[in-house]
Structure 1
């Protein structure tokens, strides 16, 4: 059974799900500068019966395209979101294979959310902090599932959860309020930090990082199990 802490962490980390990734390409300009290009290193932490497990991920952004590298045995895996193609790709280095899936459309997601209860309360505190050299505002989330404090930055564009392509999601009105902001740190009521940005590098990235290698073989997506 998922713990209350786990549900709160999920709430905090996945709050951006269901909003079209195209917004991320414009976020830098809206914040007063060009869209961010470079690499962001995130540290994810979760409490389990075996102790605290930590996972480091590299989050790459260029021209609205996104790539998340998740280290692991034999090269790990990567997720690439390409809004221009309205597609998302999952790359498995050990097998030289990839899977393709459509990106969720903002309009469709918003339509599916009509009439659904939205019990999440969002409060902007005005309290600022600097994390990894970037300024962010503390925003509090509270719902029946739990609570979390997020420090959101407008300097890095929009955070996109690449795993959203693997499930059916919908967007709630409150999500739109933070659609173009990037979480630099998420803190739970007990003080644990399930997500924190540890390094940000502005740099040019090659286009090849955001494309499927030519020698990769396409695999079919596994069939979703019916809901229980």
Structure 2
């Protein structure tokens, strides 16, 4: 069970690297997302917490609660594994595990459609994005923090170009639709936004948790 949990977390969640400084944000609160890929794994609504430049994503899979902290000012990401009272820390400036494929960032063609939508009570601008990753339509909002897109580190994949664009511009995607063969599939959508004060403790490793970072490195090198 522990091995399954570690593989699940490592496979799904590594934040996009912070090659560009992320702007300070005034928004503080929680944005709830529905994500198609995670829903297939039995995960429901995902709360994404924002405080300043910090982010926290909570994951509930089969009753097991865990969290991922994105700490760009410290150039690191931390996975907190509640079941095992441990954590895994990753240096986002460490290129030792990256290969040539990961270092390539695909070109992206972004077009502002001029349309707007209201999603979860917030107005966002609709952009169309085309790159090697495919064709997407996204509704981007300013003033809600920066979304740091999870990626699959176990498969050594770079984050999608559009996800990197969000991080660079300090934008929050409230909806992402993939367009393929004329079919539109919603990959991610905000369902609720709560503006409220968050404790600093939410963005720290709980006291007494043990460092399990060595296990992550072992799985990555397999």
In the superposition, the TM-score normalised over structure 2's length comes to 0.73
Tell me by how many angstroms 1:64 deviates: 1.2
> 1:209 is matched with which residue: 172, 184, 202?
202
Equivalence for 1:45: 36
* Matches of 1:41 and 1:127, distance apart in 2: 23
More strand by share: 2
RMSD between superposed Cα atoms in Å: 3.5
Equivalence for 2:185: 192
Conserved 8 A contact 1:122-1:174: no
In the superposition, the TM-score normalised over structure 1's length comes to 0.71
> 2:128 is matched with which residue: 131, 140, 159?
140
Conserved 8 A contact 1:102-1:165: no
Equivalence for 2:114: 126
* Matches of 1:54 and 1:45, distance apart in 2: 9
Instruction: Describe the superposition over 1:128-160 as per-residue Cα deviations: whole angstroms up to 9, x where unpaired.
Output: 111001111111112344211000001212111
Alignment CA distance shift 1:102-1:165 (3 Å): farther
SS in 2 for 1:77: strand
Conserved 8 A contact 1:45-1:55: no
Equivalence for 1:182: 172
* Matches of 1:175 and 1:47, distance apart in 2: 20
Tell me by how many angstroms 1:84 deviates: 3.1
Equivalence for 2:217: 222
Tell me by how many angstroms 1:56 deviates: 1.9
Aligned pair count? Answer: 196
Alignment CA distance shift 1:73-1:93 (3 Å): farther
* Matches of 2:159 and 2:62, distance apart in 1: 33
SS in 1 for 2:208: coil
